[in-house]
Amino acid sequence: MPRVVALLVSVALVAGAFYLRARLDDAPAAAREATSVAPTERVPGPLEEEPSDPLLICAEELAAACDALEQDPDIPYRTQVQAAGDTVAALLEGDRPELWLVPAPWPEIAQILVDSAPPAQGAAQPPPAPEVSEPFARSPLVLVGFAERLSALQSVCDGSVTWSCIGERAGTPWAELGMREASGRLRPGHLDPTQSASGLLVLASAVTSYTGRADLNRNDLDTEEFADWFANLESAVPDFAPPSGSQVTEMLTRGLASYDVIGTTQAEATLRLDNAPDGPLEIQVLTPQPVTTADVVLVSFGAAGDLEEAQRSLTVPLAAALTDSGWVADPAGENMSLLEDAGLPDAGFLIALQERWEEVAR
């Protein structure tokens, strides 16, 4: 019976996704009136900036790029860095920023949740669907770990360190993984998938690694084998947020006491590691197969045409800022094929994955 319910929910989610796509494409312009938003966090920016400047919310993963935009006097936007989960929560509360810069498919996740939520009190009609750009920057999802331990893992993972293998071995004492002198247990890390945009994508990448495919649905989470693997993985993942906000920074400052291996974007790994001189512990970056990516999109919650206008003023400087912070950006779509699939499951599955993670990890 629960599986039947799950199947019905899954079908509803898929239908919702199609409905959302249709609305993204067809929603009447009149329904896309911009509404103001009250920033829920500190809004950094020059004092001379007009308070009426439209607001660009940046997911935390894109903070470096947005900080660069903030310093550019020609950019007519205020910026605010916010965890993707917080932005979704604000949208559910009825807040509507002008723009949102975030890895896909978070906009789709947000819209599914908004559409499935009861209408806000006093709202005559559901909020208009946002416009979402094509991906214009990308970063592969990678593993960052201490070289000695990755090497030991490689030996017990048939020569290749994957999330599937990490999940199987998570929590195993290092003494049993070929490092007799090491204390502690294999401690993998990823950020909270209900809050962090990349945290969710990394977790999805891990599940894809385990199942060997990306066309997943909620039922795939219900197998006994998956449940065991997932529970083993998550039981070893520390459930407290890194004090610095970055797991790579934690590895650099706290060494082996932090994590043995974590998942993140190559952009973050590059940004953090390139600025860090060699320390006593070598840190290595691996790109596990199959490759999955975080793809950045720009979302407009304003009127029709607002996205196009924003792209005109933002795309080039944003692409430059993203490139400077480790992302591979291609605003013109000429040098790379960002239209290729990111290799990750769809938004409906990711919502189900968030729910399952809540059940297992909390």
Partner 1 sequence: MRRLTGCLALLALLLAGCVRDTGVEQETAAADTEGVTVGGAGDCTVVDIAVSVEKIDLFVDLAEQFNASPDAQLDGGGCAVMEPRAQESGRVATLLSEGWPDPDVNGVAPVVWSPASSAWSGVANQRLADAGQPPIAPAGEPFMLSPLVIGMPQPMAEALGYPEEPLGWGDILTLARDAEGWGTYGHPEWGPFRLAKTNPTISTTGLSALIAQYYAATGKTEDLTTEDLARPEVDDFARGVESAVVHYGDTILTFLNNLARNDARGTALTYASAVATAEVSLINYNRGNPDGVLEPGEELVPPRVPLVAIYPEEGTLFNDNPFVVLDAEWVDDTERAAAERFGAFVQRPENQQRVLEFGYRPGNPEVPLGEPITAEFGVDPTQPQTALELPEPPVLVDALERWDVQRKGARVLITMDVSGSMGDPAGAETRETKLDLAKQAAIGALDDFSPDDEVGLRVFSTDLSPTEPTDYIDLVPIGPIAEQRDVLAQRIEQLVPTTGTPLYTATAASYSDLVDAFDPQRINAIILLSDGVNDDPRNDDLDGLLATLTEGTEGGTETPVRIFPIAYGSDADLGSLRRIAEATNAAVYDASDPGSIDRVFTAVVSNF
Q: Which residues bind partner 1 (CB under 8 A)?
A: 47, 181-185, 187, 238-240, 243-244, 249, 252-258, 272, 275-281
Least distance (Å) from partner 1 to the CB of residue 65? 20
CA-wise closest residue to 143 among 155, 161, 168 = 161
Least distance (Å) from partner 1 to the CB of residue 236? 10
| Token pair for 7 | 């199947």
3-state class (DSSP) for residue 98: coil
Instruction: Evaluate whether 121 touches 312 at the Cβ level (below 8 Å).
Output: no
Q: Which is nearer to partner 1, 25 or 48 (CB)?
A: 48
For residue 288, cis peptide bond before it (omega within 30 degrees of 0)? no
Q: Which is nearer to partner 1, 157 or 182 (CB)?
A: 182
Least distance (Å) from partner 1 to the CB of residue 248? 8
Q: Which is nearer to partner 1, 271 or 307 (CB)?
A: 271
3-state class (DSSP) for residue 57: strand
Least distance (Å) from partner 1 to the CB of residue 153? 15
For residue 105, cis peptide bond before it (omega within 30 degrees of 0)? yes
Least distance (Å) from partner 1 to the CB of residue 280? 4
Least distance (Å) from partner 1 to the CB of residue 284? 15
Least distance (Å) from partner 1 to the CB of residue 183? 4
Give the Cα separation of 175 and 244 in Å (integer). 29
Q: Which is nearer to partner 1, 224 or 278 (CB)?
A: 278
Helix residue spans in 170-302 (DSSP H):
197-211, 224-236, 247-254, 266-274
Q: Which is nearer to partner 1, 132 or 237 (CB)?
A: 237
CA-wise closest residue to 103 among 143, 53, 140 = 140
Instruction: Evaluate whether 302 touches 241 at the Cβ level (below 8 Å).
Output: no
Q: List phi, psi (to 5°) of 262.
A: -130, 160
Cβ-defined contacts of 226-229 (< 8 Å, 24+): 229/164, 229/167, 229/168
Least distance (Å) from partner 1 to the CB of residue 201? 23
Q: Which is nearer to partner 1, 99 or 252 (CB)?
A: 252
Q: Which is nearer to partner 1, 162 or 246 (CB)?
A: 246
CA-wise closest residue to 79 among 255, 245, 298 = 298
Q: Which is nearer to partner 1, 52 or 275 (CB)?
A: 275
3-state class (DSSP) for residue 289: coil
